[in-house]
């Protein structure tokens, strides 16, 4: 039971690497998949529906730092602007289903879910796309983990 809980807990943050621990722990493919998916679904649900809170909190912190004269640092501002431009270009080229599939995978579930919710907050299909992408990623990553370990 502790193994299942630890996989679920670890997959709430680093979903991409969690299935690699399944074969090492002696779990079957399905046990690993369901443990990882439980944590992933929990994380996606919490961070998707709380994303407006996190965005508002970040906006308030930024306003407070500007009022105190601690923001923005010109060097950091240029780096962040370049990164934001890349993300927006990536988003506009790939469209919603691909972004909902890839962002949570490569950025981490919480951060990718919050960013995707920010980009597509007016679309009813955002949450189902993220959940579908997470499910597809779960099958692919668990399959790769068991192929690597030869189980």
Buried b (16+ CB within 10 A) or exposed e, 5-35: eebbebbbeebeebbbbbbeeebebebbbbb
CA torsion angle 43 49 50 56 (round to 10): 140
Domain boundaries defined on the chain: 2-149
What SS3 class is residue 44? helix
Residue 46 in this model has a pLDDT that exceeds 90: yes
pLDDT in tens, 60-82: 888 888 788 776 666 667 777 77
Rounded to whole angstroms, the Cα distance separating 78 from 88 reads 15
Q: What percent of the chain has pLDDT over 90?
A: 27
pLDDT (mean) for 6-23: 87
Q: Of 29-43, 50-64, 84-98, 116-130, which range is least confident? A: 84-98
């Amino acid at each position: 039971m502790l193994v299942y809980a630890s996989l679920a807990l670890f997959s709430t943050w680093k979903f991409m690497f969690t299935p690699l621990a399944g074969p090492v722990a002696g779990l079957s493919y399905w046990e690993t998949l369901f443990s990882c998916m439980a944590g992933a679904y929990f994380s996606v649900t919490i961070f998707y529906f709380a994303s407006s809170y996190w965005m508002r909190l970040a906006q308030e912190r930024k306003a407070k730092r500007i009022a105190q004269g601690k923001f923005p640092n010109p060097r950091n501002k240029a780096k962040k602007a370049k990164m934001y431009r890349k993300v927006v270009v990536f988003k506009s080229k790939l469209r919603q289903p691909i972004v909902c599939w890839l962002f949570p995978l490569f950025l981490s579930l919480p951060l990718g879910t919050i960013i995707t919710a920010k980009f597509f907050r007016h679309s009813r299909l955002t949450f189902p796309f993220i959940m579908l992408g997470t499910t597809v990623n779960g099958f692919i990553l668990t399959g790769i983990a068991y192929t690597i370990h030869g189980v």
